[in-house]
Amino acid sequence: MTGAARGIGAATARALAAAGARVAIVDLDAAGAERTAEQVGAAGGEALAIAGDVTDPASVLKAVDATVAAWGRLDILVNNAGVLRDATLGRVTDEDWDLTLGVNLRGAMLCARAALPHMLAAGRGRILSATSLVARTGNYGQTAYAASKAGVIGLTRAWARELGPKGITANAVAPGFIETEMVRAVPPKVMEQVVARTPAGRMGRPEEVAHVYLFLASDLARFVNGAVVGVDGGLLL
């Protein structure tokens, strides 16, 4: 899985490992990936830390090859790597647009494309990708982020149609406001307003998103395909 050095990614890596999966942790932050792998190992799981850049096709292929070399298979892909560069339309820079779409959208495609031959060979697989509440609602100052996450929904639905007949499902998880480093950067007053609008009355926790990924990765979800599962405490309502 990608983007597992911290936050939702690290929580998902721990949850998958606790359920018996061997987890390849791919992140640009090599030290963070190692830290998550150590956490998995300390809990009795098996993990492999890989320094990788999801925007670089060669780096993605190297990560997939390392995973298959270690364990002989690749059953589940979690596209969790993501960046956020807030700016209103008039202030969006070319660099921030390219970075956001490159990591959040192109990166998901590159990882899925690299993993696909191994899933096809096995006749089964799970492709899980991180979208966002704002992909469906929009959000002030998030032109690039909202566009990238809406694109992930489009990719997921296209893959569900293409790959479902081959035993491979594709689904997306759409978190709302979760207690992560990214959300902690939001001004407290803004977060108070968000929590006030959330029927659950609080922000979510990374583990609560991880549990949804775990379900979608399991055989319990074998007939779930092309879904976008919200984990937002009802904020979308």
Active site residues: 145
> What's the number of CA atoms in the CB half-sphere (13 Å) around residue 235?
27
Question: One-letter amino acid identity for 206?
Answer: P
Separation of alpha carbons 190 and 100, rounded Å? 23
Q: Where are the beta strands (DSSP E) in the chain?
A: 22-27, 46-51, 76-79, 125-130, 168-175, 228-231
Query: Which residues, at least 6 apart from 227, have a Cβ–Cβ distance to it below 8 Å?
Result: 171, 172, 216
Bridge partner list, 188: none
* Sign for the pseudo-dihedral over CA of 190, 192, 194, 197: negative
* Sign for the pseudo-dihedral over CA of 194, 195, 201, 204: positive
Query: Number of helices and strands (H, E) in the chain?
Result: 10, 6
Closest CA to 234 of 180, 177, 192, 150: 177
Separation of alpha carbons 177 and 23, rounded Å? 26
Record the tokens describing residue 177, joined without a space.
């406001």
